[in-house]
Amino acid sequence: MDFSDEFELLLRARYPLIYIPTREEERIEAAIAQSARQQGNRAVYTWDFVDGYHGNPNDAGFGKRNPLQALEFVEKLPASAPAVFVLRDFQRFLEDVAISRKLRNLSRLLKAQPKNIVIVSSHIAIPDELSEAMTVLEFPLPAAAEIRIEVERLFKSTGKSLENRVLDDLVRSCQGLSLERIRRVLARAIATHGELRPEDVDLILEEKRQTIRQTQILDFYPTTANISDIGGLDNLKDWLLRRGGAFSERARQYGLPHPRGLLLVGIQGTGKSLTAKAIAHHWHLPLLRLDVGRLFAGLVGESESRTRQMIQLAEALAPCILWIDEIDKAFAGVDGRGDAGTTSRVFGTFITWLAEKATPVFVVATANNIQSLPPEMLRKGRFDEIFFVGLPSQEERQEIFSVHLLRLRPHNIKQYDLERLAYETPDFSGAEIEQTLIEAMHLGFSQNRDFTTDDILEAASQIVPLARTAQEQIQFLQEWAAAGKARLASRHSSLSNRIQRQMHQSD
């Protein structure tokens, strides 16, 4: 059910107080007017604090700078007269006891009248005492069909033709932006060179980055990481490479569903976050990073609203990669939190979306502590696969050293004894290997020379790897993975070698 159908249903069902959080004021008011016409040509009265009611000459200016008077106007109209009252920015006055009381009185009165009060606000801010009376209705960002109409309308003003391929690229790039931002960025492109060009997609992407930054929920994360930058993790890389074309139209025609996502569980510093960045770069998809802590806010209903906004924005930008780092910390002990059930509701909304989403949003979630994750998160259907990312084997450590040294000293890599470095760094993670190289560079730089294999080994001797400081947690993770709870990301990790030995012994 789209917005118009749902809104018209609420009008017919005589829902007295409707709250619509959106920044697209002009577009929502046009949609409300359209729905009012469909419902027997209902009258629409629009109020704001500065100008009062406007649109109807007989009532122009009524309730100016007086929100209580704006509500009293609802009672002035005949009880049988169908009407919709649009109140802009009215959330600012809901904490006032007189306003709150008046709205609750009106909610009882309007159940018997064909009238509805619609509060349009940029965000949700509903006090406790009004939470039962208010119905929150989400207003989605413009869909591809609506964007296409707008792009074609703007392009007609140039008097030039537009290839279907370029039009499709522009429409896809504009998804996730408000209609006003789309008009603004396309008008800028037309003003620059008198037409729309394929390279204008870059302007749209920059506008998209600005929009995402302003939500303060998602980050548009640029990445240049390649699959080849990941040392080891052969099973995981093979799995990803096989799905490289799974978002294409050819895959849809073949009958393949969109890939859902991955949960990467394992020890810190083993390349889980790097994998998320490499997936986005290799699949040529935008990478959105979600800090789950930003979803939680103090006002009633705002955390749930932010969760829905995050989902709406991610789906509007699809196909894309949604990266959720350390998801275990966000939802640890979800049932035991004393926050009036806010965390449970946010978690419920999120995992329901994970299971039911039909849009091509590929979720990459990482977790270090599997014990703190709710069991619902691990159920089949949330993710395509759960991979365990363990400590690298000696062979993989050699590959990791090679990756970093090819980046740092591409012309002198033969001077380094990679086999010895890998042998002398047991239990080191990829992040610890990188830190070892940085420390070795400091040693060489401080003595005005290049760093050597001996410098790297000296630096390694001074680092205590996490495998020793968090031995119990790592052992638990390895036993959990060895029990078949997750797929091994590495073909040659120490854990996979141990499992193979156990299988041979059992044979």
Q: Looking at the 3D structure of the chain, how many domains does it have?
A: 4
CATH code where residue 92 lies? 3.40.50.300
| Position 28 confidence tier, pLDDT thresholds 50, 70, 90 | very high
Last residue of a domain, one of 84, 118, 136: 136
Cis peptide before 142 (omega within 30 of 0): no
Closest by Cα among 73, 2, 68, 3 to 32: 3
Last residue of a domain, one of 117, 136, 155: 136
Whether residue 152 contacts residue 182, with contact meaning beta carbons closer than 8 Å, is answered with no
325 and 243 in a single domain? The answer is yes
Of 119-123, 161-165, 425-429, 484-488, the one with minimum mean pLDDT is 161-165
Q: CA 185, 186, 191: angle at the middle one, nearest 5? A: 100
Of 185-199, 293-307, 362-376, the one with minimum mean pLDDT is 293-307
The amino acid present at 224, given as its one-letter code, is T
Closest by Cα among 120, 130, 33 to 84: 33
18 and 117 in a single domain? The answer is yes
Query: For position 490, what pLDDT does the model report?
Result: 85
202 and 240 in a single domain? The answer is no
How is residue 57 written in tokens?
A: 């000459």
Strands in 52-54's sheet, in edge-to-edge order, are 52-54, 43-48, 83-88, 115-121, 17-21, 134-136
Q: Which residues contact 251 (CB under 8 A, 6 or more apart)?
A: 245
The answer to the question of residue 479 being in a domain is no
Residue in this structure with the two tokens 């205590």, named with its chain if needed: 464
Is the CA virtual torsion 355, 360, 361, 366 positive or negative? positive
How is residue 47 written in tokens?
A: 């109020």
Domain that holds residue 445: 394-426+430-464
Q: Quick one: residue 86, left, alpha or beta (phi over 0 = left, psi -120 to 50 = alpha)? A: beta
How is residue 54 written in tokens?
A: 């406007």
The answer to the question of residue 221 being in a domain is no
Query: For position 9, what pLDDT does the model report?
Result: 95
42 and 85 in a single domain? The answer is yes
274 and 374 in a single domain? The answer is yes
d(CA 113, CA 131): 21
d(CA 275, CA 231): 10
d(CA 260, CA 321): 10
CATH code where residue 436 lies? 1.10.8.60
278 and 374 in a single domain? The answer is yes
Structure confidence by residue, pLDDT tens digits, 435-470: 999 999 999 999 999 999 999 999 999 998 888 888
Instruction: Compute φ and ψ for 322, nearest 5 degrees.
Output: -105, 110
Q: CA gyration radius for the chain? A: 28
The answer to the question of residue 484 being in a domain is no
DSSP assignments along 70-123, one per residue: HHHHHHHS-TTS-EEEEEETGGGGTTSHHHHHHHHHHHHHGGGTTEEEEEEESS
Q: Mean pLDDT, to the nearest integer, of 324-352?
A: 76
244 and 287 in a single domain? The answer is yes
The answer to the question of residue 496 being in a domain is no
The amino acid present at 79, given as its one-letter code, is A
417 and 295 in a single domain? The answer is no
Q: Count Cβ neighbours within 10 Å for each residue of 420-453 and write b for 16 or more, e otherwise.
A: ebbebbebbbbbbbbbbbebbbebeeeeeeebbb
Q: CA 491, 496, 500: angle at the middle one, nearest 5? A: 110
Query: For position 301, what pLDDT does the model report?
Result: 63
| Position 334 confidence tier, pLDDT thresholds 50, 70, 90 | low
Q: Which residues contact 260 (CB under 8 A, 6 or more apart)?
A: 354, 357, 362, 363, 382, 383, 384
Q: Does 115 have pLDDT greater than 90? A: yes
204 and 271 in a single domain? The answer is no
Q: Which residues contact 477 (CB under 8 A, 6 or more apart)?
A: 265, 266, 267, 370, 388, 390
**Against a cut of 0.85, is the pTM above it?**
no
157 and 18 in a single domain? The answer is no
Q: Does 336 have pLDDT greater than 60? A: no
Structure confidence by residue, pLDDT tens digits, 190-246: 888 777 777 777 788 777 777 777 777 888 887 778 888 888 788 988 999 888 888
The helix (run of H) or strand (run of E) holding residue 440 is helix 430-446
The answer to the question of residue 42 being in a domain is yes
Whether residue 355 contacts residue 382, with contact meaning beta carbons closer than 8 Å, is answered with yes
Give the percent of the chain with pLDDT over 90.
Answer: 37
Return the bridge partners of 136, or none.
Answer: 19
d(CA 67, CA 337): 38
411 and 292 in a single domain? The answer is no
Q: How many CA atoms lie within 13 A of 156 on its CB side?
A: 5
121 vs 307, higher pLDDT:
121
Closest by Cα among 339, 161, 373 to 266: 373
Estimate to the nearest angstrom the gap between the alpha carbon of 245 and the chain centroid. 22
Whether residue 114 contacts residue 42, with contact meaning beta carbons closer than 8 Å, is answered with yes
The answer to the question of residue 483 being in a domain is no
The answer to the question of residue 362 being in a domain is yes
Q: Which residues contact 356 (CB under 8 A, 6 or more apart)?
A: none
150 and 54 in a single domain? The answer is no
Q: Does 128 have pLDDT greater than 60? A: yes
CATH code where residue 148 lies? 1.10.8
Query: For position 89, what pLDDT does the model report?
Result: 95
The answer to the question of residue 322 being in a domain is yes
Last residue of a domain, one of 158, 182, 214: 214
* Residue-averaged pLDDT of the chain: 86
Chain length of the chain: 507
DSSP assignments along 228-255, one per residue: GGS-S-HHHHHHHHHTTTTTSHHHHHHT
How is residue 299 written in tokens?
A: 């006002």
